[in-house]
Structure 1
Amino acid sequence: MKWQDESAQLLDELMKPLPVFVRPMAKKSIKSKVEQVAQQAGAEEVNKDHVVRGYIMAAPDKSRAVTALEANQIDLSPYADLLK
């Protein structure tokens, strides 16, 4: 699936806080979830919204996900249902 440049950059930024040794596996897992979200939405390209939704859904610890997203100036109000 094709990724918008902005989306790929956001995913890379969200991976930075993770320890280097777990980053590749975590990125693979999250990227897979993001692409699944995009496919379910019928999208041909992964956009920023898909990255945020997939990241939240794949995160084992929602509070860490919130911290990482807020650090990247992501408005979480549209994603409140996923953060419950």
Structure 2
Amino acid sequence: MTVPAWLEWFYLFFWIVFLLFLAIGGYFMFRKFLKALPKEDGKSILDWQEYYINQTLHLWSDEQKALLNELVEPVPKLFRDVAKQKIAGKIGELVFHEQAEKLTEEHIVKGYILATPKRDHKWLIKTLQKKQIDLSAYQHLFQ
């Protein structure tokens, strides 16, 4: 009994798509695994991120949380929480190292710029201009 040609092509297509999805999933799992590996100091990138968030959590007001939510709006919903946590960790790191008593809009903007890839900066610039926030102090971070 022979298998129809269209079924053979379907099997081939199925296995190619299956292996492609497996590779994509493996790539993202491997990236997460690398971030969870401890560095020289014994803590991973994710451990430090969580540490900075916990140390500065009491400084966040509802208005500042709303600004962060607005800034991460273009991120797809599936990845939004991870992006928000990464950005909040970077903001927390800035505030922690400055030993600031209060979290400011400047910390949020600076942390967002430092935590995100350059391709996201275009949307950030548009959003900040719409909110009438002066970007001259942050130009060196966009380079």
> TM-score when scaled to structure 1?
0.84
Shift in Å, 1:71: 3.9
- How many angstroms apart in 1 are the aligned matches of 2:70 and 2:132? 11
Structure 1 partner of 2:139 = 80
Which structure has the larger Rg over C-alpha atoms?
2
Structure with more of its chain in strand, by fraction: 1
- For CA contacts below 8 A with separation 6 or more, give which structure has more relative contact order: 1
Structure 2 partner of 1:35 = 92
Structure 1, unmatched stretches of 5+, are none
In the TM superposition, 1:59-78 aligns within 5 A as 59-61=116-118, 62-78=121-137
Structure 2 partner of 1:26 = 83
Provide the identity percentage: 37
SS in 2 for 1:21: helix
- How many angstroms apart in 1 are the aligned matches of 2:90 and 2:81? 14
SS in 1 for 2:112: helix
Structure 1 partner of 2:102 = 45
Count of paired positions: 84
> TM-score when scaled to structure 2?
0.53
The CA RMSD measured in Å over matched residues stands at 1.6
Letter in 2 for 1:18: V
Shift in Å, 1:6: 2.6
- How many angstroms apart in 2 are the aligned matches of 1:77 and 1:3? 25
Structure 2, unmatched stretches of 5+, are 1-55
Structure with more of its chain in helix, by fraction: 2
Shift in Å, 1:9: 1.6
